[in-house]
Structure 1
Amino acid sequence: MKIHFFLILLWKFVYCVSFFSFENRSESQKCELRHRGKNVKFPKQFLFGVSTAAYQIEGAWNEDGKSPSIWDTYTHLHPERIADHSNGDNAAESYHRFEQDLRALKELKVDFYRFSISWSRVLPKADTTSQSKKAIDYYNMVINTLLENNIQPMVTMFHYDMPDELSSFGGFTNDIIIKYFRFYADFLFKTFGDRVKKWITFNEPFDYCVPGYGNADFPPMVHAPGVADYLCLDNTLRAHASAFHLYKAKYFDSQKGKIGITISSRFYYNKNKESDEVVDRAMQYALGWLAHPIFGKSGNYPFIIIEDITSNSMREGLPWPRLKPFNFHWTKYIKGSADFLGLNYYTSRYVEIRDPPGGEIPSWEYDSRIKYSLDKKWKRAKSNWLYCVPNGLEDILRWIRDNYNNVEVYITENGWSDDGELVDLDRIGFLKAHLQAVLNALNDGCNVTHYSHWSLIDNFEWNMGFTEKFGLYYLNMTSRNKERVAKHSAHYYKSIIESRKIPSSDNFV
């Protein structure tokens, strides 16, 4: 009993010292945002959750008939491309340790849990000719257990881990992927849709298309910028719309669920304070590229993108544009093909026109003609790309409101990286500021209804391996039991969920 009391006193001392240093940083090192609007609480219907992805936490990469995904093959053949030469073979072992994840979810008291299903685990041959009963049983267990504990499942169908089988004929550059994905989606709706009411078709298409098929930083390591990455984005939109219409025609009447797509985007600020044209250009080349065909009035790519790429293609001597506008059939088919817009927001940038254009010819960088920069006052996370810009989240929600008829928005990822410390006051500061941005946007009439923090636990962070940690829970990778240990940020997030208010970061314990 005395030891327990001593540990509590020690924990309080460490917290107070850490918080004192946190509060006494220079203004340039803080991550905060002022409250705007009269409402200080989140509405009762607003939902809080956390997110994960199958490859990043499940492990069991070759068990129960699972076939390799492109990330299995990539990390096995190219360990030198991962910062610590690690892989997702074991990761957090969530395939065998879901009860530990559930314990964390219950402690947080989240309303929903966003997770992804491994395509190559449930359908080892990528089509429905081979189905893994044990994998189906696993996901049924996850879904049923969540519901038993009043936690809504939110399922992402594709989170980077395409079955390696599909790479043999071009992956997302071959339009046959539309049929494969449609049959995969049909399988998911039929198997789990009686209980899953919120579906996300694809997570961050830009972030697997451009690195995977453009600059070859991600699997399948295709280097064809301005061509293959554009085909990937194009076929992803078609596959998404195909799954959406399948659900509406075949399953909606009985299942009554919602289906959307998650797009990642920063918000952009005008560095030279002259015209907002450069801000709109940057937003169209980021969020608008994928959102405009679905949520915009035209049902097609933003006009500026079509115009730029068509004229550049002609200048390069091509007889056709590297990105073709959708024809009448696909315009009608894609327009309106989502019940909500999933948004992954982490950070922002300043922008200006780059003249002459940078990047390879052709490439997304060359076509967009945008130069990015930072503000030295922005606080940086462990990730070299991640800076705390909470006003960017508020502004991007307004931009969506104004450009896409105030479509319903789920914030499906938002988070901060560090070294995995338990006293993670920087993550608390990030959480506080960004949830304030969401509340400000709500007060300004934005139709945002869900917030999901990335991530529940520390996990495999793609090319950075386990060198960067985003979790609310620390993952003990060296332990036999892979314990999940609550960080200070977990307690802070729980206090927000319980009170529906944003407490000051010094009084949540």
Structure 2
Amino acid sequence: LVYSAVLCVAAAERCFPDGFKFGTATASYQIEGGWNASDKGESIWDRFVHSRPEAIGDRSNGDVACDSYHKWRDDIQLLEDLNVDFYRFSISWPRVLPTGFPNRVSEDGARYYGDLIDGLLGNGIEPVVTLYHWDLPQPLQDLGGWTNPLISEWFADYARVIYDLYGDRVNTWVTFNEPTAICDIGYNDALAPGLESEGRGSYLCTKHVLLAHAKAYRLYEKEFKPKYQGQVSLTNHMMWFEPETEADTELTELVKAISIDRYCYPIFSATGGWPPALERYIAQKSAEEGEPRSRLPPFTQEEIQLIRGSYDYLGLNHYTTRTVRRAAAGEEIGTYLFEGVKELGVTLGARPEWPTTMSTWFTVYPPGFRALLSYVKQQYGDVGIFIMENGLSDSGTDLDDQPRVDYYRDYLEQVLLAMEEDGVQVVGYTAWSLMDNFEWMDGYQSRFGLHHVDFTSPSRTRTARRSAKYYAAVARTKDIDAKYEFDKMAEL
């Protein structure tokens, strides 16, 4: 390790500084399986895939997935081999609280995550824990889910249970993963709960998620931080956006406001509340539609103060860049942030020279990452940015995944440039994902894993790809040009 660090200093322009952390990530529904093990409750994803199998590209589900509910020790071994500093995973709310409420805590569910956390710490790996990665207890959805204003209290009650269980061993918390997916895609009939209420239900969801985050943050700040000195924030999926033509520049700024700033401005800005340009736009459009009030629900002054400043870092997931243009008259606009934004009359695309991936929404453009990081700094100052997801999807058929290695190297280079030339404070980087998993609407057709998973095998065999070997070398040396060995003859 000492020798590697010396080499790293010699090539400082391609090397991350001391203290910078590397990790990898997964999510509960995507890997755990055990969907009805012990007394676990039903989640909205259990209900969604079982009642609407046609909504998933290959009609698969996460009932077994990677079987990490039983194979968590194998997962820890993969993490050891990767030399990572931390492992970001999520807790399934209905696995710990089967009814969604704290009246009953599952002993088996609580033990599962406790064993995982202890196993990580015993191997020198820091647990980074996400409280909510999309698997809402179905009983809460039956009460209105994220459109019910009481859900912010229900989430804070859940957070208290988890802080009580693991706060002495977990120092980094993520309240929510990707509110834009929870609210804008979940209420555009694409992700669970599969409801169609874009521009109304999606905005109620946004407000209540922000309030739920703030209440969970303030709870930790008041009762747990004095004892454990941990850090809490949320992380959102941030694409970068570029105008297709110069005429689309102003429209592109509105897309940034609705996609990035709607979830950042209330928390990280000096004033709080909704982004002013977005608030004006939706109020005006609502009036033109004959609405008696804006479809974007207002915050009270008390709510603004509750949410503003509810962070210890800024979490950020990034994969791709999209181009922005105004949709033509009569042109159909696709799913929010996959193909377009109906609220703004926007179609999203990509430049022809950007390489494509297995995910229809995903093209490769590394400079977009630096531009995004610089934008966040310009908008919100010198907040420490924790990159919570970044990675590449492919078909998963080849262990020799050189394009994924190239993606990681090229995107990490842009992170370095943002840090060294733009003064952006990035504190950590998370590769998505530790292994192939249930990739939501794509099922098992697109793979993001550093490790291949054989989903036809009862043992769900994990096998390291070239990218795992590369990333292990980067995590060990902090050098994006680190040398590594890979058996090119390895076959599936």
**TM-score exceeds 0.5:** yes
- 1:71 and 1:219 in contact (8 A); partners too: yes
Counterpart in the other structure of 2:419: 442
**Equivalent residue, structure 2, for 1:268:** 241
Distance 1:150 1:507, change over 3 A: closer
Q: How does 1:110-509 map to 2 (within 5 A)?
A: 110-213=84-187, 215-273=188-246, 276-354=249-327, 365-420=341-396, 421-443=398-420, 444-503=422-481
Asked whether the 8 Å contact 2:58–2:444 carries over to 1, the reply is yes
Provide the C-alpha distance between the structure 2 equivalents of 1:369 and 1:466, rounded to a whole number of angstroms: 32
Contact 2:469 2:484 in 1 (8 A): no
Q: Is the 8 A contact 1:358 1:365 kept in 2?
A: no
Gaps of 5+ in 1: 1-36
Q: Which runs of 5 or more structure 2 residues have no equivalent in the other structure? A: 1-10, 488-492
Measure, in 2, the Cα distance between the counterparts of 1:458 and 1:139: 21
Q: Is the 8 A contact 2:88 2:127 kept in 1?
A: yes
Query: 1:322-370: CA deviations, max 9, x gaps?
Result: 003322111111111111111110000122344769768xx99343243
CA distance in 1, matches of 2:346, 2:20: 36
Residue-by-residue CA offset, 1:41-85 (whole Å, 9 max, x unaligned) = 101110000010000000001011001100001111111111111
State how many pairs are aligned: 470
Measure the CA separation in 2 of the matches of 1:239 and 1:357: 38
- 1:96-143 C-alpha deviation (Å, 9 max, x unpaired): 001111111000000000000000000001011111111111111111
- Please say if residues 54 and 118 of structure 1, whose CA atoms lie closer than 8 Å, have aligned partners that are also in contact: yes
Using the alignment, how far apart are the partners of 1:191 and 1:506 within structure 2?
Answer: 39
Pick closer, same or farther for the CA change 1:77–1:453 going to 2, 3 Å. Answer: same
User: 1: CA distance between counterparts of 2:228 and 2:329?
Assistant: 53
SS in 2 for 1:169: coil
Query: 1:209–1:229: 8 Å Cα contact kept in structure 2?
Result: yes
Counterpart of 2:390, as a letter, is: N
Contact 1:358 1:369 in 2 (8 A): no
1:154-209 CA distance string (max 9 Å, x none): 00000010001111111000011111100000111111011100000000011121
RMSD of aligned Cα (Å): 1.9
Q: Secondary structure of the residue that 1:114 maps to in structure 2?
A: strand
Does structure 2 conserve the Cα–Cα contact (< 8 Å) formed by 1:200 and 1:259? yes
Q: 8 Å contact 2:203–2:297 — kept in the other structure?
A: no
State the secondary structure of the residue aligned to 1:39: helix
Q: CA deviation at 1:403?
A: 0.6
TM-score (norm 2): 0.92
CA-CA distance at 1:218 after TM superposition: 1.7
Q: How big is each residue's C-alpha offset from its partner over 1:414-440, in whole Å with a ceiling of 9 and x where there is no partner?
A: 111111120101101111101111111
**SS where residue 393 of structure 2 aligns?**
coil
How far off is 1:38 after superposition?
6.5
The whole-number CA distance in structure 2 between the counterparts of 1:192 and 1:162 is 20
Instruction: Please state if 1:45 is matched with 2:19.
Output: yes
Q: TM-score under structure 1 normalisation?
A: 0.89
- Is the CA contact (8 Å cut-off) linking 1:204 and 1:264 kept in structure 2? yes
Deviation at 1:504, TM superposition (A): 7.2
